[in-house]
Structure 1
Amino acid sequence: MSNIIKTEEEWKKVLSKEQYHVLREKGTEKPFTGEYWNNFEKGVYKCAACGEVLFESDTKFDAGCGWPSFYKAIDKSKIIERDDFSYGMHRIEVLCKNCGGHLGHVFDDGPQPTGLRYCINSVSIKFEKK
């Protein structure tokens, strides 16, 4: 369950149109267009909707998919993973536990040590440089 509860009208006031589409309507930005797909500076990635710290730059890698990819979340208790059967396929959706915002999906084709690839929309996160 999410800790932050807002109406859709409240979310529309605090998120850009693109952020709202991804975070609240489970949209996806086009690959290789997001702000962070090719960012490898040191820092942390926070939820764009609520500011929860979700990923560290040390776990980011180039998956060649066009979206920021991480092999682990900073703390699994800060995210929700759930089955997504949209578009006639089975994927695992990743949401921010604090606000319920849609972040992207996680796949089992990532590097070691986890073998996971958290494929996250740039618009759903904010980078804070260390």
Structure 2
Amino acid sequence: MKTAIVAALLLGCASPAAARSIGERIADLPDEQKAAVAVSAIDAAWTVRCLDRGTCREVGPMALAFGQHPNAAQVIGTRMGTIILSSVAVSIVQDRDPGAARTIARVNLIVTGTTIGIHFKREF
């Protein structure tokens, strides 16, 4: 499965539309993806703060890799990897179908927004 994902990403990058610079690709991302990146960064900071204070534990997929009390580097590194992969995927899809890319970006925003909403509810 991982090989198929990597192959799809590489094939997507090999298209003529891939000649755009990274800066152009970032600028062209749907606003929903940019918002999802911002919300994800807020969620990572909130998670690090909560774990440092000892008022919470990780129960998401990150707990499988790092346990219930990952350190800040693990949280931020995992989140950065997720942000980069989702943004690359949205950019590749956008080359072929901008509407589908916007839909994927909306799903990213909804999932990330729901996660931070759950954290907010538990914290306050």
Q: Above 0.5 in TM-score?
A: no
Which structure has more strand as a fraction of its residues?
1
| Shorter-chain TM-score range | under 0.3
Q: What is the TM-score normalised by the length of structure 2? A: 0.27
Structure possessing the higher radius of gyration over alpha carbons: 2
